Structure 1
Amino acid sequence: MTQKPSVLLMLSSAVLYGVCSCSMNFLNKFLLSSWAFNHPASMVLGQILVIMVLALKLLKLIGKINLVNYDIVTATSCGLLSVLFSANTIMALFALRGMNVPMYNAIRRCIPFASMVLGYMVFVKKPSPLVFISIMIVTAGTGLA
């Protein structure tokens, strides 16, 4: 049986996500505009590598990793998702280069709404009432901002 995480753990995770997300936006904007570094794909690759190394170091797994169970089936099942995620991140960096950080963050908050609409149109999948209300509140807040 899985134990439900504590409220403190959930709150600290949300705060950490917010701090990391916000700081990455400002760092990326600084690199793209102040240094005129126009290579978003390189930035994504560098950030992914740094995060992976730091996570492995934190978990004390560097030097102890065993990838025996990682086969071509697993790689192909994750491949399309990895490519789409990387493409999304690169396009977001191109968008960030052309606008200010607050506007970028506001527009980015509309992604769940677009995903919900596309999920309904493509997969005929309806979200739960709580998810629908949450997404509508975030989208309305974005419109208000």
Structure 2
Amino acid sequence: MENRSEAEASPCKSLVAAVSYGTASMAMVFINKAILMQYGHSMTLLTLQQLATALLIHFGRQTGYTRARGIDMQTVRRLLPVSLFYNANVAFALASLKGVNIPMYIAIKRLTPLAVLIAGIFSGKGKPTAQVTSSVLLIAAGVIIAAIGDFSFDLLGYGMALTSVFFQTMYLVLVERSGAEDGLSSVEIMFYNSFLSLPVLTFLIIITGEFPSSLALLFAKVRILTPHI
């Protein structure tokens, strides 16, 4: 009886998980777009995001709230390329949101399955089934049709979004082929990713001139939003 009830609950849990993921994904895009319309320093935002993530997981480990293990240099070497591709994907995605409207941004990101499909063929993964290929090509055709009718076409924004698709594809292929994340929990992966990202991101915001003016602008925006604090 228990096995039957668990089997019946499984589709319901899967549906809830899928809806929750879709809602969170859509909300993230809208929130990022709204923030970038008011504060255009996307690299600084990404750096602060990774810093906050690393600190929260570290404090969670110190207080016993999470079971994430400490830094291991062998794991660092294994995850470094994965982390670089991940952050490149996020950085270009945020940059593209400055010039691309939300529907087109979402549409362009849907080209990732096509890119993964092509990368898989060239990397010797094998030819996908006709059903998978036709589905992915149909999505890509829809993206092209939508782009043709986009009256707010921004070449730089489109270029950034397509570059983000490329880095996301490389990230997914690298993770699949290297098995770099094997044996790590999702919290540990997040911690390593944030830890490895911070030196590179800090260097980038300094050489591009974002920092420290971007931080001063952020504090000014926060004071405007919270005048009584």
Shorter-chain TM-score range: 0.7 to 0.9
What is the TM-score when the length of structure 1 is the normalising length? 0.75
1:13 aligns with 2:17: yes
1:97 is paired with a residue of what secondary structure?
Answer: coil
1:109 aligns with 2:113: no
CA distance in 2, matches of 1:52, 1:13: 25
1:6 is paired with a residue of what secondary structure?
Answer: helix
CA distance in 1, matches of 2:98, 2:132: 31
- Mapped contact 2:114–2:137 kept (Cα < 8 A): yes
Could you say what the CA RMSD is over the residues aligned between the two structures, in angstroms?
3.1
* Gap regions ≥5 residues in structure 2: 1-5, 147-229
| Higher RCO, Cα 8 Å, sep 6+ | 2
CA distance in 2, matches of 1:62, 1:133: 50
What is the TM-score when the length of structure 2 is the normalising length? 0.50
- Runs of 4 or more above 4 Å deviation: 48-57
Change in CA separation of 1:117 and 1:75 when aligned onto 2, cut-off 3 Å: same
Between the two proteins, the alignment pairs up a number of residues equal to 137
Matches within 5 A, 1:122-133: 123-126=123-126, 128-129=128-129, 131-133=132-134
* Gap regions ≥5 residues in structure 1: none
1:63 aligns with 2:67: no
Question: Sequence identity, in percent?
Answer: 30
- Mapped contact 2:61–2:68 kept (Cα < 8 A): no
1:98 is paired with a residue of what secondary structure?
Answer: coil
| Residue 100 (structure 2) aligns with | 99
CA shift, 1:18, in A, is 0.8
